[in-house]
Chain A
Amino acid sequence: MTSLASLAADLLAGRVRVIDLTQTLSPDFPTIVLPPEFGQCAPFRMETISRYDERGPGWYWNNITVGEHTGTHFDAPVHWVTGRDLPNNTTDTLAVQNLVAPACVIDCSGEAANNGDYLLTVPVIEAWEARHGKIPAGNWVLFRTDWSKRSGAAYANVLADGAHTPGPDAAAVQFLVDRGALGFGVETIGTDAGQAHLMNPMYPAHTLMHGAGRWGLQCLCNLDQLPATGALIIAPPLKILGGSGSPLRVLALVAA
């Protein structure tokens, strides 16, 4: 039996569980807040085409509008100016071989759950590696903060000086790039910390990850159901021509 056949058998038998890491796309899910003079990401909107009524007596369907970076979404390298000239940097040209990939989950929920300014640093990653081994190249690195257990205003956590949500500092991002991480995934609205505009470089997760051709996943949930290592992430964005990202369903396969 091939390993793929045994995986199929494990899935059917429930020895491998499928975890949904996706937030529900709904009109009131927070979107990224930029200063009003910048272009804005459209929130999710849904209008009924027909619902078993005179517009279509036997069927129900909707038209939806959404930004590329609304809800649980994927960031392609072209999203950031540092990744603009890389090959295969858009949603339609990404290497599909990597859209199914293993993940390392760094659990900082104890520190970050009540600290919107918590930063993931190199010592924290090194401590994780001391317990679980060196982060292998080609892995997603998922930053568990339990932030997804918040909702509404507490989730967005926007104060007078902007959002206060956890994220990595610049050195930590560079460390992960050097390890060959496939990308960086978070539970918050951005891969960067809410106050990352004050860092140097600004927005290091975007600047350094995308500059190195790596990917981002945002607004994940259920990271608390993943093991530190061994989960397999399925995260293919919509194949949008020249797209910078897309909302998507993110699934994790874990051993039961």
Chain B
Amino acid sequence: MGRTGRGRAAAARAGAGTGGGADVPAADAPQLRVVSGEFYPDWEAVYRDNVDRVYRLMFAKVGNRPDAEDLTAEVFLAALRPLRVSASAAEVRAYLFATARTVLAGHWRRTLGREITRLTDDDELELVPADDAVSSAAVGSSAAVGRAAAILAELPELYRRILELRFLDSCSVREAAAALGVSVAYAKVLQHRALRRAAQLLEVNR
């Protein structure tokens, strides 16, 4: 692929400076100064408080570490540079979320040409909780586990088992085939069909 985190980060940085590329939300409501008594003292506090949340959100949407790391970096490089002025913690998180939504959409446009996953309003509630008691550890992961469990529960036994073994238990296709007592070739077919069925269920549940 030759697509390195460093290179994409540099592109994001360049984009942020010119107002193009990063495509951050427009400053259409400068008079708004709403809510949350909490303020971040500096960008480092913004970063420390949100890097974990943003990463988890991204991981839930791309499912792999290298992409999740690159996209998280892209969000902060695009968002933190123009981040200035007093903004409440809630405003900063809403802004990070808006940036993350744009960054994720750009990722799918570049890599597959189709928007596979997107950040929804429900995701925003996780990133920007009304109450800070929602720990960042809950962001993304709990929702992802819930969604996966809901899909798996509706699948026929064999489909459910192959997906559990492969996706949740980190089994190789060979190990999964052995566990199910089927051939490796059939395990591959099963996995393929199970994913299609799971996709239909996801569609229905949306």
A, B from the same assembly: no
**Residues of A participating in the B interface, judged by any CB pair closer than 8 Å:** none
